[in-house]
Amino acid sequence: MDENELLELKKEIDEAKSKISELTGTQKQLMKDLKEKWDCPSFEEGRTKYTKLGQEITALNEKIEKGVKELNEKYEL
């Protein structure tokens, strides 16, 4: 391996370190937001809450659709 190849490899390593640092910072900020905004201290708790909220939204949409259908039938809309 010559000097140019070593310099190129060093450059790639430095870029990878920088990207890792950036992604780590992003992850920390997202975890902080998850805790502060949604009261979920871990990713798994966030996933569980997301699933639960999705189910609640689906149930509410079904209730709304049923209510609208009943009103349409009752008042012949």
Query: Mean pLDDT, 10 residues at a time, over the chain (77 residues)?
Result: 92 97 97 95 95 97 96 85
> What pLDDT shows up at residue 42?
95
| Amino acid symbol at 76 | E
**CB 49 within 8 Å of CB 38:** yes
| Nearest-angstrom CA–CA distance, 52 and 47 | 9
| Nearest-angstrom CA–CA distance, 39 and 50 | 12
A 10 A CB-CB count for 44 gives 9
> What pLDDT shows up at residue 75?
87
> What pLDDT shows up at residue 1?
81
| pTM for the structure as a whole | 0.67
